């Protein structure tokens, strides 16, 4: 506890030094302008390479990793098998992290804050500022040379940087995408929807014909996923969550936030989405789409592969496209950038082996496996551009057309900011409050989150 409260105090003094946002090339131009690049003064010093660059061949690691997909085979096991073949004397014990990012972060921060936890962990792209401020990650730039970080696609390392220190290695990157039933659209002579209202009317048509029970499934449960979905509508409507300095909420200024939430809510009110949509996470929405119950799905890249895997009723029937937008906005709609990085716990006793592991997981071979077997977006520029990788991963063709938006994660208080969003988004969609009230409460919540100092 002592350690945690000390860390909390430290956060308060550092919260106005935003780290750079996370993003792929297209997003970075926009996102860097808005959140500012993390302090660069320390960057040169941080790049002095210390002793353990990741060439260890012995040791024990515990790897905290969420399941990555909801399909089979398990990507973690596939990658681990390859690692163990190459490094037979490094013993890796995998700890399965919760699938829900909010629960994952809460569990992990409790462990690390208590002086324990796994040695290497997967953490999402919104964590670096917070984990950096609380010293929950070993700066990798202390050990790895600049040449290592240069192998990653533009923006990803900047997103993993806090105050000039690179805290994590980009493992795979994600973004919100629209999955659709290409067989049904073809049968009904319908185009891939470019606007939310088109998606709604096409849904109603397919529902009326009895082709599907629901039109559209997405993520609106009381957790991080609802923040991601809401951010996409908010950006389409021209709104923002906070000002550039992360000192105040912008949700209540203008009509964008209410428009965004009202649109999400209308899918439930109009029967296009299930009544229980406010309890839907990635796995729930994936299951509905995979079983043929819904015509459209908003989900991450892994969803393509999962929709074509074991137990799917929609094999060969799925298309992927950028997200729609509002009628008067420019197509495509915004896609939230997500993805997962690999971090080292400061309590690790074997950083050398941890680094060997991280270097393996970010090697071209591992990245190719993630891209071609699991339809993830690889983080290495070289692999992203490889023809054979592109031909095996239909998501990559869409990625070049999407418009990206980051979550407001440049503040160490992001977790609390996000909570203010997802709690109220989900409550409105559960019918517990009007969309207007929900946005006003979210705005108040974001303001208090920005001045808080907790995890
Ligand atoms: C996906 C994204 C991650 C996000 C999470 C929300 O795993 O990659 O960035 O936080 O979904 O549910």
In the predicted model, is pLDDT for residue 408 greater than 50?
Answer: yes
Residue 63: the pLDDT is 98
Domain count, the chain: 2
Tokens of 137: 């990650």
Span 374-396, pLDDT tens digits: 999 999 999 999 999 999 999 99
Q: How confident is the model over 184-213, as a mean pLDDT?
A: 98
Give the Cα-Cα-Cα angle 434, 443, 284 (nearest 5 degrees): 60
| Helices 435-450 and 256-269, axial angle in degrees (round to 10) | 130
For residues 414 and 294, what is the distance between their CA atoms, to the nearest angstrom? Answer: 32
Residue 101 CB less than 6 A away from ligand 1: yes
Q: Give Cα separations from 35 to 17, 90, 233, 285 (angstroms).
A: 9, 40, 20, 32
Average per-residue pLDDT for the chain: 89
For residues 96 and 118, what is the distance between their CA atoms, to the nearest angstrom? Answer: 11
Query: Are 319 and 349 contained in the same domain?
Result: no
Choose among 260, 438, 279: nearest CA to 336.
260
In the predicted model, is pLDDT for residue 407 greater than 90?
Answer: yes
Residue 3: the pLDDT is 33
Q: Is residue 379 part of a domain?
A: yes
Span 28-79, pLDDT tens digits: 333 322 222 222 223 333 334 455 567 889 999 999 999 999 888 999 999 9
For residues 438 and 421, what is the distance between their CA atoms, to the nearest angstrom? Answer: 9
Residue 39: the pLDDT is 28
| Helices 414-429 and 435-450, axial angle in degrees (round to 10) | 170
First and final C-alpha spacing in the chain: 13
Query: Are 261 and 159 contained in the same domain?
Result: no
Contact 244, 35 (CB under 8 A): yes
16 three-class SS: coil
Residue 228 CB less than 6 A away from ligand 1: yes
Q: Which domain holds residue 106?
A: 18-175+336-400
Residue 224 CB less than 6 A away from ligand 1: yes
Query: Are 316 and 194 contained in the same domain?
Result: yes
CA of 145 to the centre of ligand 1 (A): 28
Query: Are 297 and 357 contained in the same domain?
Result: no
Instruction: Name the pLDDT band for 454 (thresholds 50, 70, 90).
Output: low
Query: Are 348 and 212 contained in the same domain?
Result: no
Residue 294: the pLDDT is 98
Neighbours of 354 (CB within 10 A): 30
Residue 406 CB less than 6 A away from ligand 1: no
Q: Is residue 11 part of a domain?
A: no
205's CB contacts (< 8 A; 6+ apart) are 188, 190
Residue 53: the pLDDT is 67
Residue 51: the pLDDT is 53
Q: Is residue 4 part of a domain?
A: no
Residue 354 CB less than 6 A away from ligand 1: no
Residue 301 CB less than 6 A away from ligand 1: no
Residue 65, H or E segment: strand 59-65
Query: Are 440 and 321 contained in the same domain?
Result: yes
Q: Is residue 12 part of a domain?
A: no
Tokens of 257: 């936030």
Query: Are 197 and 329 contained in the same domain?
Result: yes
Query: Are 330 and 342 contained in the same domain?
Result: no
Q: Is residue 7 part of a domain?
A: no
Q: Is residue 251 part of a domain?
A: yes
Question: Cis before residue 203, ω within 30 degrees of 0?
Answer: no
Residue 52: the pLDDT is 53
The CATH code of the domain that includes 194 is 3.40.190.10
Instruction: Name the pLDDT band for 419 (thresholds 50, 70, 90).
Output: very high
In the predicted model, is pLDDT for residue 93 greater than 70?
Answer: yes
Q: Is residue 406 part of a domain?
A: no
CA 417 vs. chain centroid, Å, equals 16
Which ligand 1 atom is the nearest neighbour of the CA of 125? 9
For residues 441 and 424, what is the distance between their CA atoms, to the nearest angstrom? Answer: 7
How much of the chain, in percent, has pLDDT values that exceed 90? 86
Instruction: Name the pLDDT band for 453 (thresholds 50, 70, 90).
Output: confident
Whether the model pTM is above 0.85: yes
Residue 289: the pLDDT is 98
Residue 41: the pLDDT is 27
In the predicted model, is pLDDT for residue 222 greater than 80?
Answer: yes
Q: Is residue 6 part of a domain?
A: no
CA 230 vs. chain centroid, Å, equals 13
Query: Are 239 and 331 contained in the same domain?
Result: yes
Q: Is 155 left (phi over 0), alpha (psi -120 to 50) or beta?
A: left
For 152-306, strand residue ranges (E) read 161-162, 165-166, 169-175, 177-181, 214-217, 294-299
Query: Are 50 and 110 contained in the same domain?
Result: yes
User: How do 59-65 and 120-124 pair as beta strands?
Assistant: parallel
439: Cα within 13 Å, side-chain hemisphere:
23
Query: Are 350 and 245 contained in the same domain?
Result: no
Query: Are 149 and 205 contained in the same domain?
Result: no
């Amino acid at each position: 506890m002592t350690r945690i409260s000390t860390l909390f105090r430290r956060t308060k003094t550092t919260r106005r030094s935003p780290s750079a946002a996370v993003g792929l090339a297209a997003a970075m131009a926009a996102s860097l302008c808005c959140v500012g690049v993390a302090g660069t003064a320390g960057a040169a010093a941080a790049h002095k390479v210390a002793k353990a660059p990741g060439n260890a061949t012995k040791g024990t690691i515990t790897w905290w990793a969420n399941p990555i997909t909801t399909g089979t085979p398990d990507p973690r096991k596939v990658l681990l098998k390859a690692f163990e073949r190459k490094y037979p004397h490094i013993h890796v014990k995998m700890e399965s992290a919760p699938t829900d990012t909010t629960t994952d972060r809460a569990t992990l921060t409790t462990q690390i804050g208590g002086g324990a936890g796994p040695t290497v962990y997967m953490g999402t792209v919104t964590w670096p500022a917070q984990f950096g401020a609380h010293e929950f990650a070993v700066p990798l730039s202390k050990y790895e040379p600049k040449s290592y970080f240069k192998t990653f696609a533009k923006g990803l390392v900047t997103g993993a940087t806090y105050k000039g220190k690179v805290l994590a290695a980009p493992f795979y990157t994600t973004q919100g995408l629209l999955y659709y039933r290409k067989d049904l659209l073809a049968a009904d002579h319908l185009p891939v929807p470019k606007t939310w209202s088109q998606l709604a009317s096409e849904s109603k048509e397919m529902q009326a014909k009895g082709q599907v029970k629901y039109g559209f499934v997405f993520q609106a449960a009381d957790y991080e996923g609802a923040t991601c979905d809401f951010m996409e509508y908010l950006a389409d409507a021209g709104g923002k969550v906070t000002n550039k300095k992360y000192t105040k909420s912008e949700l209540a200024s203008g009509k964008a936030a209410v428009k965004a939430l009202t649109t999400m809510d209308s899918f439930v009110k109009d029967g296009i989405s299930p009544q229980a949509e406010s309890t839907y996470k990635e796995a729930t929405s994936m299951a509905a789409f995979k079983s043929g119950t819904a015509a459209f799905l908003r989900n991450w890249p892994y969803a393509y592969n999962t929709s074509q895997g074991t137990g799917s009723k929609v094999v060969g029937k799925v298309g992927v496209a950028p997200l729609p937008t509002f009628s008067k906005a420019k197509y495509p709609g915004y896609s939230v950038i997500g993805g997962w990085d690999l971090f080292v716990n400061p309590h690790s006793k074997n950083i050398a082996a941890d680094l060997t592991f991280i270097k393996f997981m970010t090697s071209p071979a591992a990245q190719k496996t993630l891209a071609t077997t699991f339809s993830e977006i690889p983080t290495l520029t070289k692999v992203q551009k490889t023809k054979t990788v592109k031909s095996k991963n239909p998501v990559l063709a869409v990625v070049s057309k999407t418009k990206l938006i980051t979550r407001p994660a440049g503040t160490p208080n992001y977790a609390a900011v996000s909570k203010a969003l997802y709690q109220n988004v989900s409550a409105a969609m559960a019918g517990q409050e009007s969309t207007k009230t929900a946005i006003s409460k979210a705005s108040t919540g974001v303001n208090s989150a920005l001045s808080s100092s907790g995890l």
